[in-house]
Chains A and B, each alone.
Chain A
Amino acid sequence: MTAKGWRDTVPGGWIKEAGNALEYKTGSWRSIGPVFIPENCINCLFCWAFCPDDAIMVKDGKMVGVNYDYCKGCGICARECPAKNKALVMGEEG
């Protein structure tokens, strides 16, 4: 986001655009994160349901990866993944 001067702030700090939390990329908070192993994934979407942010990307009903712009590395998806060989494991991803 471009840094605004005080004259350009909205009085009282009200946010007039809906959904602009998307502009606030919180992924930088992460120290370690989930690494996705597609061949192990059974597409149960537990990871998507449990993710406390919105960092599990789903396309056509299938898990397709982790959105690292918002993933904070909490590890819940990796813990909840029920596949025999886990499709999400915590590691030093980018």
Chain B
Amino acid sequence: MAQKVAITGNEAVALAMKQINPDVVAAYPITPQTEIVQIFSTYVNNGLIDTEFVTVESEHSAMSATVGAASAGARAMTATSANGLALMWEIVYIAASNRLPIVMPVVNRALSGPINIHCDHSDAMGARDSGWIQLWSENTQEAYDNMIQAVRLAENPNVQLPVMVCMDGFIISHAMENAEVLPDEVVREFIGDYTPQKTLLDKENPVTAGPLAFTDSYFEFKRAQAEAMIQAKPYVLEVAREYAKVSGREYGLFETYKLEDAEVGIVVLGSTAGTAKNVVDKLRGQGFKAGLLKPRVFRPFPAEELATALGHLKALAVMDRADSFNAFSGPLFAEITAAMYDSGAQTKIVNYIYGLGGRDVGLGDIEKVYGHLARIAESGKVDQRLNYLGVRE
């Protein structure tokens, strides 16, 4: 029987990791991810699970040890945030290019500087081109569900890619919410026994991992890696369908909220989508056709599906909790806009950078965005493409 519990995001992720019982976890604590590692280590210490828990001296070592364990054929995990992810950088790319099915919760936090421990998406957005699958979560329930699905997805023989499970620092990681957790045996049966596709420890079949590839072959390996991501999309949906059978909760590439008949809409990742849904309800009550789309899968980027879901809108705001500092837009805007252009949609699109360094985003802020969209829908003109929401002028 599934159980309803009051639980924080970090507790839920640590619980998911306990239920997954990975062979190896190598991790280093960093706010706001620390609790995941701390709670998980108590499970290990109390003998509730038999994971080999490696307390490394840095995140570079955490990812290196995880890559080593995964190469050996272990089900291996780590967890991090912000500057910790930045310190892992070199090995993050190697995990993906070596096709290692590692699962890593990323508790989203602002990258320095100035130094800041609160939520934004600059950490995971920075890693958007690292070759990892990225699943984003709106709340504790989704973080828990994404963790369990991530294992099946990463380990699928046709996928064999590492997966980041992203959830907003503090807003999700430290806030207590109601969530439904599955019994241990349901999770174990869902993820199944891990049969690695490759292992360094089979002396009958010796292999080399991570060799050199120069001008004559590097490009072919990267093209093959690109194909793995291109082909991953249906498996995201397959795992979601299987998960719905055991959990009753359905997941897709993204979630739409009152979008089908909407005239204006917002695209937003993570916990802010929850806030925005309340605003949509309020505006709908006033007869204003507002809608919302919350991406779940940012990598692989579901361009065609997004364009199909959004193409009927008169005006759209893409909200980015990270800035690209490219004098143009945030990262989500750039990709959504590219997808829309390709589809021939006539939607007017603006970008809102919001919530950097944990700046609170309230109902009134989101209402302002919808107000801007209403003006654009009426005039048919984008007055200002790049906007900063909630910053003091």
Bound-complex Cα distance A4 to B98 (A): 18
Chain A residue numbers with a CB within 8 Å of B160 are 11-12
Chain A residue numbers with a CB within 8 Å of B225 are 12
- What 0/1 pattern do residues 6 to 21 of A give for CB contact below 8 A with B? 1101011111101000
Instruction: Tell whether, in the assembled complex, residue B221 and residue A3 are in contact, meaning their CB atoms are under 8 Å apart.
Output: no
CB contact under 8 A between A13 and B211, given known A4-B220, A6-B221, A6-B227: yes
Instruction: Tell whether, in the assembled complex, residue A9 and residue B220 are in contact, meaning their CB atoms are under 8 Å apart.
Output: yes
Instruction: Tell whether, in the assembled complex, residue B211 and residue A16 are in contact, meaning their CB atoms are under 8 Å apart.
Output: no
The interface centre, meaning the residue of B98, B198, B224 with most chain A CB atoms within 10 A of its CB, is B224
- Residue A5 CB within 8 A of the other chain: yes
Total contacting residues, chain A, CB less than 8 A:
13
Instruction: Tell whether, in the assembled complex, residue B98 and residue A12 are in contact, meaning their CB atoms are under 8 Å apart.
Output: yes
CB contact under 8 A between A9 and B228, given known A14-B208, A15-B208, A16-B205: no
How many pairs of residues, A versus B, come closer than 8 Å at their CB atoms?
50
- What 0/1 pattern do residues 198 to 229 of B give for CB contact below 8 A with A? 10000001111111010011011101110110
Instruction: Tell whether, in the assembled complex, residue A12 and residue B198 are in contact, meaning their CB atoms are under 8 Å apart.
Output: yes
Bound-complex Cα distance A6 to B213 (A): 13
Instruction: Tell whether, in the assembled complex, residue A12 and residue B100 are in contact, meaning their CB atoms are under 8 Å apart.
Output: yes
Bound-complex Cα distance A5 to B216 (A): 11
Taking the closest CB of chain A, its distance from the CB of B388, in whole angstroms, is 41
Chain B residue numbers with a CB within 8 Å of A4 are 217, 220
Interface residues of B in 69-104 (CB under 8 A from A): 97-100
Chain A residue numbers with a CB within 8 Å of B213 are 13
Instruction: Tell whether, in the assembled complex, residue B224 and residue A9 are in contact, meaning their CB atoms are under 8 Å apart.
Output: yes
Chain A residue numbers with a CB within 8 Å of B224 are 6-7, 9, 11
Bound-complex Cα distance A3 to B220 (A): 10
Instruction: Tell whether, in the assembled complex, residue B221 and residue A13 are in contact, meaning their CB atoms are under 8 Å apart.
Output: yes
Bound-complex Cα distance A12 to B98 (A): 4
Taking the closest CB of chain B, its distance from the CB of A65, in whole angstroms, is 28
CB contact under 8 A between A9 and B198, given known A3-B216, A14-B207, A15-B211: no
Residue of B nearest to A12 (CB): B99
Instruction: Tell whether, in the assembled complex, residue A6 and residue B220 are in contact, meaning their CB atoms are under 8 Å apart.
Output: yes
CB contact under 8 A between A11 and B210, given known A6-B220, A6-B223: no
Taking the closest CB of chain A, its distance from the CB of B380, in whole angstroms, is 45
Taking the closest CB of chain B, its distance from the CB of A21, in whole angstroms, is 9
Bound-complex Cα distance A4 to B216 (A): 10
Q: List 21 A-B contacts (CB under 8 A).
A: A3-B216, A4-B217, A5-B220, A6-B219, A6-B220, A6-B223, A6-B227, A7-B224, A9-B217, A9-B221, A9-B224, A12-B97, A12-B98, A12-B198, A13-B97, A13-B221, A14-B99, A14-B208, A14-B209, A16-B205, A18-B207
Give A contacts to B, CB under 8 Å: 3-7, 9, 11-16, 18
Beyond known contacts A12-B209, A13-B213: 6 more, CB 8 A cutoff: A7-B224, A12-B98, A12-B221, A13-B210, A14-B207, A15-B207
